[in-house]
Amino acid sequence: MIELNADIGEGWDDASLMPYLARVSIACGGHTGDAASMVAALRLAAKFGVAVGAHPGYPDRAGFGRRALAASGDDIAGWVTQQTEMLAEQAARLGLRLAHVKPHGALYNAAAGDPDVARAIARAVAAFDSGLLLVGLAGSQLIAAGHAAGLAVLNEAFADRRYLASGWLVSRETDAALIVDPVAAAEQARVLAQGGAIESLGGGMVRIRADTICLHSDTPGALNIARAVHAALNRG
């Protein structure tokens, strides 16, 4: 079964989602999060035996990390390293190890299309711990940069986001970006897990490689979506 993952430590109802997840990416001080929220998320993940990873983003709390910032490669690498280190230190105090790094929001999107941003992130992760998995948009520049840096990667697809025919995600600024119907999200996840083609926003069909499937904890009805997607993935 392809795993289901979510981004947590962002102020939503993480505990309810945990029984349905295999992997979580924890906010670590960039777009949100502090030592207390990181420890709470790590303890929750440990309770449910869920793999944990860092979710670094642009240092933009006002915009929740969903606005791109002008930055050099060194800036980006520094932010990723600093935030990942903060979470790793908290994890070590609890006897836990990080399994992966997944950029957040606008940094995730920038890394998908900009090879310089992607290389900066991959370089930072490889230098910090070459055993960490790098999670990125399926088939994106971040996946390519991870391979080039010698990292193992996870191609990520989404149960609760719509796609363009190009394989890119529909912008959150578009009303149709989110899938909030649990049945529709579960069906998209099922098709992705089976390697099938899903319908894009423009009506064409697009095939997305999926090593891991994400849902967002801040999507309306996230708990019902998680239940439906988990059931669909378990049915195969």
pLDDT for 196:
96
pLDDT for 173:
86
pLDDT for 97:
98
Provide the Cα torsion 153, 57, 2, 129; round to 10°: 40
Do 85 and 132 meet the contact criterion of CB atoms below 8 Å apart?
Answer: no
Do 7 and 232 meet the contact criterion of CB atoms below 8 Å apart?
Answer: no
Pairwise CA distance, residues 228 & 49, whole Å:
21
Distance of CA 220 to the CA centre of its chain: 17
- Given a cut of 80, whether residue 65 has pLDDT beyond it is no
* Domain count along the chain: 1
Pairwise CA distance, residues 221 & 231, whole Å:
16
- When the pLDDT of each residue in the chain is averaged and rounded to a whole number, the result is 96
- Given a cut of 90, whether residue 45 has pLDDT beyond it is yes
Average pLDDT over residues 108-135: 98
Do 25 and 7 meet the contact criterion of CB atoms below 8 Å apart?
Answer: yes
Q: What domain range includes position 105?
A: 3-235
Do 30 and 57 meet the contact criterion of CB atoms below 8 Å apart?
Answer: yes
Q: What is the pLDDT of residues 198-219, one digit of tens each?
A: 999 988 999 999 999 999 998 9
The CATH number covering residue 44 comes to: 3.20.20.370
pTM of the model: 0.96
- Given a cut of 90, whether residue 64 has pLDDT beyond it is no
- Given a cut of 70, whether residue 236 has pLDDT beyond it is no
- Given a cut of 80, whether residue 1 has pLDDT beyond it is no
Average pLDDT over residues 156-178: 93
Q: What is the pLDDT of residues 75-106, one digit of tens each?
A: 999 999 999 999 999 999 999 999 999 999 99
